[in-house]
Structure 1
């Protein structure tokens, strides 16, 4: 039963670095870190996201546009305009690729203080790297699969990062509860978030995007923020004052 264990570890590792580095660091600048640590976490993202690796700079730009234009035609990934998850996934992919390749002209105010490592992205963000990751994942499954149904998880392993992003972007704008009445459809998916490292509190986040801790109510738990506080105490990062 090593495949389910591998899948669980991959889920939490990939999602943590997407939440920690891409979302809270690149997009929102909740904390600072040295260039050496920045490069270390770039590599961590590559190792955990694998075939679904995304550029921190391109993600940061896309997410800033999402906050600036939430649920409007200029939102790069609003479910308000799509009736299915595959349609939203395709839209998000195209929006991201256009930003990454420079086809989308973005105002300068959205591109400030973004991490960038062009040479690494050139290495990690290409089809050859994705194919090699796919070969590695398939080999892992070939060695450790013990029942035929475990092969059904292989597509999830290939596209882990993209599916995690769409899970939050779809569900958190359609289902859940709201702590704040905002002029958008953002919702909190889970009252106790043990699946998404605190990213399930999307309504809270849209209310206070500059706040590193997404939890607000007494019963809410932002596990990602707990790790961030530990990193702050270890002087790996430096948390900014709550905004």
Structure 2
């Protein structure tokens, strides 16, 4: 039970920081926050994603390109241009690393306003740091795992951030239902998103890329991240932007 609780806590903290900070803030600027709070969220993302920490700057830029060029040959991670899930993940990794290391030729408009804390971006990406997180996870499993089968969860924990991205970028362009007719293949993967904190309402999000609430178009669509944003807004930690139903670019 301890290992399952640890895995679930890691899963939901990781996906929460990915949807709140990397996706809704860094990529889409659905809300604003002070530079001090931005650094707090950087640290929370580092803790939440651990060994699979994703650069908010690189993620934000890459995701903006995904919306601007969805399901074309300029999309950083389209299933339409990949042989399988792992091929797409490998291509995404190369694209991401080019942005992270400033080897890209992406137009400046896609980089405007993305958060950038160079020290944390560098620290979180260092291999000794990633290995330290992975070692910590492994020691917890050695101490508390009650069955060898539980160790099969460890690779997912090592790669939690990319796993979350792959679920949406592959499966939510392959399976599910649609509320809106689009020029791309984005679908709502889950009728009730208990797994991805609203991220699986991908068809809704591609229709209204600036809308902070990803659900709400059918009675069963509940976006768990949106109430969190409302609470943070009420506490004046963030300031939600209104009237932003349009796509980012």
TM-score range, shorter chain: over 0.9
Structure 1 segment 8-47 matched on structure 2, within 5 A: 8-47=8-47
Runs of 4+ in structure 1 over 6 Å off = none
TM-score using structure 1 length: 0.98
| Pairing 1:232–2:225 present | no
Give the number of equivalent residue pairs: 243
Distance in 2 of aligned mates of 1:67 and 1:90: 20
Paired residue secondary structure (1:146): coil
Distance in 2 of aligned mates of 1:157 and 1:214: 26
Paired residue secondary structure (1:213): coil
RMSD: 0.8
Any conservation in 2 of the 1:198–1:214 contact (CA below 8 Å)? yes
Give 1:57 deviation, angstroms: 0.5
Give 1:226 deviation, angstroms: 1.1
Distance in 2 of aligned mates of 1:111 and 1:122: 18
Task: Name 2:212's counterpart in structure 1.
Answer: 212
Paired residue secondary structure (2:146): coil
- 1:29-55 per-position Cα deviation (integer Å, ceiling 9, x unaligned): 000001111000000000010000011
Give 1:144 deviation, angstroms: 0.7
Paired residue secondary structure (1:51): helix
Any conservation in 2 of the 1:70–1:184 contact (CA below 8 Å)? yes
Give 1:128 deviation, angstroms: 1.0
Any conservation in 2 of the 1:212–1:242 contact (CA below 8 Å)? no
| Pairing 1:159–2:159 present | yes
Task: Name 1:188's counterpart in structure 2.
Answer: 188
| Pairing 1:7–2:33 present | no
| Pairing 1:145–2:112 present | no
Q: Which runs of 5+ in 1 are unaligned?
A: none
Any conservation in 2 of the 1:214–1:222 contact (CA below 8 Å)? yes
Distance in 1 of aligned mates of 2:172 and 2:98: 24
Distance in 2 of aligned mates of 1:149 and 1:184: 39
Task: Name 1:81's counterpart in structure 2.
Answer: 81
Give 1:81 deviation, angstroms: 1.4
Task: Name 1:64's counterpart in structure 2.
Answer: 64
Give 1:103 deviation, angstroms: 1.1
Distance in 2 of aligned mates of 1:29 and 1:63: 12
Q: Which runs of 5+ in 2 are unaligned?
A: 245-249
